[in-house]
Every structure is written in C-alpha cells, then in structure tokens.
Amino acid sequence: MVNVLVCVKRVPDSSSQVVLTPDNQAVDGRHAGFTVSSHEECAIELAVRLAEATGGLATVLTLGPAEATEQLRSALAVGCGAAVHIEADGVAFGPADVAREIAAVVRSHEAEGRGHDLVLLGNDASDTGDFQVGIRLAYALGLPVVNGVSTLEVADGVVSAHVDGPDGPETYSVPTPMVATVLEGGVEPRYPTLKGRIGAKKVELETRSAATQPAGAHRVRLRLPPPAPTTVEILGEGPEAAPSVVDLFEKLGIR
C-alpha cells in the first residue's frame, strides 16, 4: 500500500497571450482560465497509478486562494482520493514559504498516523518557474529527493525513479519516504470520467490555513518582453519557392 501526496499549483493557462495583473505581481488568468502545469498533470497520473496498483491513497494538495479548489476537484476526478487545501494568497508566498507550508502538512499527517510514502511535485511551475519547491520541501522534511522523474515504481519500500539524464536514461533507487519532482513525457495523463467527476464533488476537502507568515518571493515586478519586430521576408508560395529557399541555404552557408 503506497500513500502518495501530490502537490499542484493553480496557474493561468499559458496557451493564450500572457496578461499581467494590475500590480504587475502575477500573470493574470482571468481571461485565459486556470489549470495546473503539465508536469503536475503527469505527477497526478503517477500518484493515481501507484495508489491503484497498491491499494493505497493518492492525496492532492494545493496552496492557493479559494478558487484553487477547482484544481483539487479536477485531481479528485481523475482518481485522487483525498485533497488538502492550504488557503492562502499564493502570490505572497515564495518557493521557500510554499515548501515550509507543505512540510507542515506532511508532518501533521504523519503525526496522525496517515503519513505519505512519497511526495510528488512538478519539476517547475509554468507561471513562476522557480525550479525549487520540491527540493526545498525535501530538505524541510529531511528526506531524499530525485528531480525530473518521468516514471517510477515502488517495491518493498524502495522507489525506482527513472530520469532522462543528459547522457541517457538513469535510475535512482531510494527508500521511502522520499520526494520526487516530475517532468512531463513519461506518462499520459488520463481524462476524467463522468463517474469520476460526480465522485469528486462528494469528497470533503481538508482545509487548513497557513502555518506561518510568508517571507515572500523577492519579486520586484513582472514585465512583458518588448514584441519582436516583424520583418518576415516571404520567399514565395508553394513548391515554386524551392529555388529561393536553396539560395537562402547557400547564402547562410548551410550546405
């Protein structure tokens, strides 16, 4: 039985044009809508598969505003069995703050006899891209951490975590409890079924408030990069453009 905690962050959907909030402290998702990062969707999938395969429980957690319960419900709809909402203004929380808050929940679950064998996070959040919450969490809990995991298995209290390393595939064998951050690409996240969606509505959320005052993210402001000038030169239309294309290759010294 493997109990997994998977941490997700409510972020603006990044498939449309980026807009900033009026105070320039965050990306505004009001028009684009909200989601979780694709790395986290894969982390949820891995958590649910492990729980299903071992008769364990996948618990989803988020720190964020009241609306972030939407993201918890979506995770419940694809197979998570429990959800924790740390109610807080996420923007005021820097990565070290978030890690500390998640650690407090993990410790309190442990004390209540419902500890987690594995904590999964995304490799990086698609809005702030800090690349560090998972690692900070591991240190806060005194646990080992593997970064950038694409797939994993657990057997006899040992996690085999597979990473696409710079020189080829790598495996880490680490005893539980441990922390892993997930990179998309190893598994295909499932879609919720109607039954899943109805079931998700019935789950009672564990709501908590933040344990400490946040130190913040040291953010001065966000800005949008200046638009690149468009100076495209159309070489032609259809196959007739081929000679001009090859002329360009020659000009660039490509062949």
Ligand X SMILES: Nc1ncnc2c1ncn2[C@@H]1O[C@H](COP(=O)(O)O)[C@@H](O)[C@H]1O
- Binding of other proteins at residue 33 (CB under 8 A)? no
- Binding of other proteins at residue 225 (CB under 8 A)? yes
**Which pair of tokens denotes residue 30?**
């009001």
Cα 168 to Cα 103: distance, rounded to the nearest angstrom: 32
- Binding of ligand X at residue 121 (CB under 6 A)? yes
- Binding of ligand X at residue 134 (CB under 6 A)? yes
Give the shortest CB-226-to-ligand FAD separation in angstroms: 22
- Binding of ligand X at residue 62 (CB under 6 A)? yes
Instruction: Name which of 126, 129, 137, 65 is nearest 96 in CA terms.
Output: 137
- Among other proteins, ligand X, ligand FAD, none, what does residue 7 contact (CB within 5–8 Å per kind)? ligand X
Instruction: Map the footprint of other proteins across residues 62-121, applying CB under 8 A.
Output: 94-96, 99
HSE value, Cβ hemisphere, 13 Å, CA-based, for 152: 38
Interacting residue with ligand X among 3, 35, 37, 59 (CB under 6 A): 37
| Residue 203: other Cβ atoms inside 10 A | 16
- Binding of other proteins at residue 146 (CB under 8 A)? yes
C-alpha pair distances (Å), 214 with each of 50, 88, 101: 33, 10, 9
Q: Which residues of 174-187 are buried (b: 16+ CB within 10 A; e: fewer)?
A: bebbbbbbbbbebb
Instruction: Map the footprint of ligand FAD across residues 86-145, applying CB under 6 A.
Output: 126
Give the shortest CB-36-to-ligand X separation in angstroms: 8
Q: Which residues of 136-148 are buried (b: 16+ CB within 10 A; e: fewer)?
A: bbbebbebebbbb
The contact mask relative to ligand FAD for 14-43 (x = CB under 6 A, - = no) is xx---------------------xx-----
Instruction: Name which of 62, 52, 76 is nearest 192 in CA terms.
Output: 76
Among residues 112 and 237, whose Cβ is nearest to other proteins?
237
Interacting residue with ligand X among 2, 4, 5, 8 (CB under 6 A): 8
Pairing of strands 27-28, 4-7: unpaired
- Binding of other proteins at residue 2 (CB under 8 A)? no
Interface with ligand FAD (CB under 6 A): 14-15, 37-38, 126
